[in-house]
Structure 1
Amino acid sequence: MANYSEAHICQCLSRLATARRESVVTIDGDRRKTGIQFVEGVVGLANGLLQLGVVPGDVVSISALNSDLYLEWILAITYIGGIVAPLNYRWGLEEAKSAMDVAKPVLLVTDSSRGFWHSKFSIDNVPSLRWHVLMGMDVKPINTETIFAAELMKEPVGKSVNLDYVWAPERAAVICFTSGTTGRPKGATITHSALVVQSLAKIAIVRYDDNDIYLHTGPLCHIGGISSAMAVLMAGGCHVMMPKFEARLACEAIREHSVTSLITVPTMMADLITINRAQQPSGSFESVTKILNGGGGLSPLLFQDATKIFPRATILSAYGMTEACSSLTFMTLKDPTQDRRSHHQKQNDVTNSNLSAQGGVCVGKPAPHIEIKVHAEGPSSPGRIFMRGPHAMLRYWGQSMHSNPFHQGWIDTGDIGQLDDRGNLWLFGREKDKIKTGGENIYPEEVESVISLHPGVSKIVVVGVPDARLTEMVIGCVQLKQGWRWSDGNSAEVGAQVLSGERLRQYCKDKNLTGFKIPKRFVLWRTEFPLTTTGKLRRDQVRAQLISQTQFLSSKL
């Protein structure tokens, strides 16, 4: 017998059907749905899935751009006890097949968008698939096995199903694939309670409410997009959908719909600032009051620009991971409602910390439901960060417990950090990215945080390459800002906007970066740095490209 006091993400539907019954809760182009229309869409899909033959515990994959329909599908699948396995539309076909080999979905749901792997996919490629459903009806089906969603929602004559939500085994709700930086995709199994608790934390800390108009800048195939969508659904806010992030369209949507909240990563924020300056050089977005930034910290210059174009917004940063159902820690970077003196005092506490002097980056305090501990060799040294709590994944789908990152109930984040005496977590880098040089440990993010402040540096990636004497040599890969030139080290070449390895090394010394952490060599990186489909740096590929350049180690940089 079901215990309805347990968490279920579809519990948000009751509020939408009553308190938000006649209010618009989704805006997707010209299509607007009230709370009751949205709920009816979810229940109609759920009924259709039951009629099709989907049973509790079945996995259903979705590959589509953001839409109101995508939200309905997530809730409809979980309503009947299914497990949602979102797939990244930006993947290649082989990567998508690899993820489905792990998740073993019985049903694949896609939209009508073209140019992505799912537009040329056949269900014959994955043995577990029994059905393919197309969200829209404006294109021809992929193959004869395709079912239109509108047909799926037509209840057979004479059959009436009294629906109530149920759970999958172990209360699993979502299999969310980590982008990873090596190996095959891994599916973090997220429970209903993890999503609900994470949503409540975001409601409490970011302060989402039913007056919010939330712009979906993050894809619904990523845990950040999913968890923030769930938080706004629970809060009863309005969702403004955009198929995928484009800065120009995002700026237009913010103005057209008076958007109050959105999530960003640093590259998104930089693009929004650039586009806004081009469209309205002195303009700003007065309606936005909440911005949650993840995926890396905002540089001082980027933060300064963000406060200008979002003058009324509380800007927060979050540190998290897929295995934690999104955010672990939160930090308020700016709160226009906060007393200026207390805000500056808080920032001074962070800036003046001895951990700041060591090169760590403060990512704030853990959310109330999260436990974090650091395994370190000594009380004043950084170590591996572990976390546990109701937000944590069950395990990686399809893997045994011994192959999962659990240690006596704690999950190893793979990050190196330290907790200060105020409970703030400081990050020093990824354990796997650590550079061992001359018997010393270096975390590249620490070095990058210093060099990135140089006015001529657009992007910097620091890696270690094999060296017979040092074990690894620290190398800085530099992209220049527009208007700057790179010198090969010729002392005759001078100028205010000329950079060289020698000048960058001197800059590091001027910024008091420890000597052994300063890159021994710098190389001008002329192409884009390799990224995963979620925008994470492929540091391993940067390193491999350097090593593969046969003349690299003997060249003067």
Structure 2
Amino acid sequence: MPAHICQCLNRLLTLRSNSTVTIANERRKSGKEFVESVLSLAYKLSEMGLRRGHIVAICAFNSDWYLGWLLAVAYVGGISAPLNYRWSLEESRLALEVIQPAMIVTDESCKWLSELQKGTIFSPRWHVYIGNHYSSLNGIQGCKRPFLNFQTVKYCWAPEDVAIICFTSGSTGKPKGVAISHTSLIMQSLAKIAVVGYTEDDVYLHTAPLCHIGGISSCIAMLLAGGCHVLIPKFEVTLAVKAIEENHVTSFITVPAILASLVSMMRYNESRKPKQSVRKILNGGGSLSVQLVDDAIRCFHSATLLSAYGMTEACSSLTFITLYDPAVNNANQHLMEVSEITPISVHPIGGICVGKPAPHVEIVINREEESSHVGRIMTRGSHVMIRYWGQSSAVEIDSGADWFDTGDSGHIDVHGNLWLVGRRNSRIKSGGENVYPEEVEVVLSQHPGISVVVVIGLPHARLGEMVVACVQITENWIWTDSALPSNVECHLSTSVLKEYCRIKSLTRFKIPKAFMIWRKPFPLTSTGKVKRNEVKTEAMLHLQPLLCNL
């Protein structure tokens, strides 16, 4: 029988029938209660007329109800299309035009629905509101029926094996709907179980929204493992820390911005002790600075800290790397030098080490120049998307046999580790040479005086583009390009950082020509990715006079 994400339900029913599977606000559901709610909802959806291939758009905060809907829709052969509640009216309209849902499910997070309904393109057959009060379908979410078994309601598959349509985060251009199969989700889940080590004893905190592939894939992995889910509506650092403490959370996923918020709150609040219960932290959505890794180990010193590289089109993680393992690094001794446990030092060819491919993933490098080890990162396997929804076939994929171009450049070392150099669409062309922002960022982020750095390319009459670094300074450090007394140590300047890049063996043409102090949070997508175009626009306004003189 082919893979299906609802195959987790029988395991939950037998393994955790009477123990807690979901915790959301004051609601707690045992395995039996959760499975019954999913089957009851699936039965109701089938009675209503939801059929194979029907698309159900979901725009809501994280909750046990959301989790139930994802499974119930898949159970009857429908396709869930999670929408980002943070989207603008225009982004939501474009997404709905692509997927043409038969049903839309919302809660109080959906601010744009009433405005959208004033138009003519939005005409789903059903609209369901989930929450503490139900505005339609007579409280479908809480329907009560005698317990249904797997023979009463048999799950089925949507055409093409599509389980969900997950939209890309849209850091550049409009979001695209990625059609992901049941098989892809199951394979990704098994990889996370094998590499991260999720088990039935885990208490997993949903820090990522269920509208993003990272949140969805880790959620399915935990369902298959049979663990307990702790759901908060959205990530807020106070809610997250409270949930960790009250529920003895053992695992969660992060992006750099989320991890930074957690360690910042814990580091500056002396009453908060290191979280002993946390055993597994998986980072995605960007590399971690040396300082952030150090802080995270101090706050969660019992946890294995891993990082993953991936994308929506590949159903989340392609590669994994362990940054810290308390079973290997003696937790009783003072923390090791971060450079010894964090393999993000500069490589002779450049890039960030993102580890080895997951067991089910094939990766090769398609070199653009024979003289260079760097090339296009290509992948193939059951993890690759079916296609972009609304397009007749997947881009650069032929029945799963051909390699999918990730859009990233990198190389593979002699140990089989993938080194990520950067996104090709963010590549800077300076003086005829290629410069990848990520490569420069990983060097500068190792300086103790820099907390966050974003590297961009700005127009330059002679070079074509000039490398510019926008930096946020670590607390208690100062910036000045004027002379300082020799006893002042914690200071930064253009000359200091250029010299630091040279010491770190960064190639001359990659060293930023200018540095800009960034005194506010960088603009981010909802997945924590930097919106480079917005940074570039603002930097150009501030540095325009300087550009003319460099």
Flag whether TM exceeds 0.5 (same fold).
yes
What letter matches 2:519 in structure 1? R
Separation (CA, whole Å) in 2 of partners of 1:155 and 1:17: 17
For residues 357 and 240 of structure 1, do their structure 2 counterparts lie closer, same or farther at Cα, with a shift above 3 Å needed? same
> Is the 8 Å Cα contact of residues 89 and 118 (structure 1) preserved in structure 2?
no
For residues 241 and 512 of structure 1, do their structure 2 counterparts lie closer, same or farther at Cα, with a shift above 3 Å needed? same
> Is the 8 Å Cα contact of residues 255 and 527 (structure 2) preserved in structure 1?
no
Alignment counterpart, residue 448 of structure 2, candidates 444, 450, 455: 455
What letter matches 2:455 in structure 1? V
Task: Give the corresponding residue for 1:505.
Answer: 498
For residues 45 and 276 of structure 1, do their structure 2 counterparts lie closer, same or farther at Cα, with a shift above 3 Å needed? same
* Residue 374, structure 1, aligned to residue 369, structure 2: no
CA distances 1:132-153 after superposition (whole Å, capped 9, x unpaired): 10112437x4xxxx43543784
CA distances 1:203-259 after superposition (whole Å, capped 9, x unpaired): 111111111111111110000000001011011101011111112211111111111
* Residue 431, structure 1, aligned to residue 462, structure 2: no
> Is the 8 Å Cα contact of residues 48 and 155 (structure 1) preserved in structure 2?
no
Separation (CA, whole Å) in 1 of partners of 2:306 and 2:390: 35
Q: Which moved more, 1:278-287 or 1:26-35?
A: 278-287
CA distances 1:349-407 after superposition (whole Å, capped 9, x unpaired): 98599x723331111100111000001123751111011111110010001337x2437
Task: Give the corresponding residue for 1:133.
Answer: 128
Separation (CA, whole Å) in 1 of partners of 2:531 and 2:396: 21
Identical counterparts, % of pairs: 52
- 1:466 Cα shift? 2.0
Alignment counterpart, residue 540 of structure 1, candidates 533, 537, 547: 533
- Equivalent residues in 2 for 1:45-444 (5 A)? 45-113=41-109, 116-118=111-113, 122=117, 126-138=121-133, 141=135, 146-150=136-140, 153=143, 162-280=152-270, 283-338=273-328, 356-376=347-367, 377-378=369-370, 381-401=373-393, 404-406=395-397, 409-444=402-437
Q: Quote the RMSD (CA, aligned, Å).
A: 2.9
Question: Aligned with 2:214: secondary structure?
Answer: helix
- 1:316 Cα shift? 1.1
For residues 379 and 351 of structure 1, do their structure 2 counterparts lie closer, same or farther at Cα, with a shift above 3 Å needed? farther
Separation (CA, whole Å) in 1 of partners of 2:141 and 2:31: 23
* Residue 12, structure 1, aligned to residue 8, structure 2: yes
Task: Give the corresponding residue for 1:33.
Answer: 29
- 1:265 Cα shift? 1.3
- 1:518 Cα shift? 0.8
Separation (CA, whole Å) in 2 of partners of 1:384 and 1:263: 28
Separation (CA, whole Å) in 2 of partners of 1:61 and 1:508: 48
Q: Which moved more, 1:495-504 or 1:302-311?
A: 495-504
Equivalent pairs counted in the alignment come to 540
Question: Aligned with 2:528: secondary structure?
Answer: coil
Question: Aligned with 2:379: secondary structure?
Answer: strand
Structure 1 unpaired stretches of 5+: none
> Is the 8 Å Cα contact of residues 28 and 67 (structure 1) preserved in structure 2?
yes
Separation (CA, whole Å) in 2 of partners of 1:151 and 1:324: 32
Separation (CA, whole Å) in 1 of partners of 2:132 and 2:46: 21
For residues 271 and 527 of structure 1, do their structure 2 counterparts lie closer, same or farther at Cα, with a shift above 3 Å needed? closer
For residues 291 and 542 of structure 1, do their structure 2 counterparts lie closer, same or farther at Cα, with a shift above 3 Å needed? same
Separation (CA, whole Å) in 2 of partners of 1:196 and 1:344: 37
For residues 491 and 325 of structure 1, do their structure 2 counterparts lie closer, same or farther at Cα, with a shift above 3 Å needed? same
> Is the 8 Å Cα contact of residues 52 and 152 (structure 1) preserved in structure 2?
no
Alignment counterpart, residue 524 of structure 2, candidates 531, 535, 541: 531
Question: Aligned with 1:363: secondary structure?
Answer: strand
- 1:544 Cα shift? 3.0
What letter matches 2:131 in structure 1? G
Separation (CA, whole Å) in 2 of partners of 1:77 and 1:221: 15
- 1:481 Cα shift? 2.8
- 1:491 Cα shift? 4.1
- 1:480 Cα shift? 2.3
For residues 76 and 206 of structure 1, do their structure 2 counterparts lie closer, same or farther at Cα, with a shift above 3 Å needed? same
Task: Give the corresponding residue for 1:486.
Answer: 479
What letter matches 2:383 in structure 1? H
Separation (CA, whole Å) in 2 of partners of 1:286 and 1:154: 39
Question: Aligned with 1:108: secondary structure?
Answer: strand
Question: Aligned with 2:387: secondary structure?
Answer: coil
Question: Aligned with 2:57: secondary structure?
Answer: strand
For residues 270 and 89 of structure 1, do their structure 2 counterparts lie closer, same or farther at Cα, with a shift above 3 Å needed? same
- 1:78 Cα shift? 0.4
For residues 234 and 352 of structure 1, do their structure 2 counterparts lie closer, same or farther at Cα, with a shift above 3 Å needed? closer
For residues 246 and 365 of structure 1, do their structure 2 counterparts lie closer, same or farther at Cα, with a shift above 3 Å needed? same
> Is the 8 Å Cα contact of residues 370 and 391 (structure 1) preserved in structure 2?
yes
Normalising to structure 2: TM-score of the pair? 0.91
> Is the 8 Å Cα contact of residues 10 and 165 (structure 1) preserved in structure 2?
yes
> Is the 8 Å Cα contact of residues 104 and 129 (structure 1) preserved in structure 2?
yes
For residues 313 and 154 of structure 1, do their structure 2 counterparts lie closer, same or farther at Cα, with a shift above 3 Å needed? closer
For residues 551 and 207 of structure 1, do their structure 2 counterparts lie closer, same or farther at Cα, with a shift above 3 Å needed? closer
What letter matches 1:370 in structure 2? V
What letter matches 2:299 in structure 1? I
Separation (CA, whole Å) in 2 of partners of 1:151 and 1:385: 44
What letter matches 2:390 in structure 1? G
For residues 123 and 225 of structure 1, do their structure 2 counterparts lie closer, same or farther at Cα, with a shift above 3 Å needed? farther
What letter matches 1:426 in structure 2? W
CA distances 1:174-209 after superposition (whole Å, capped 9, x unpaired): 000001222221011000000011111111111111
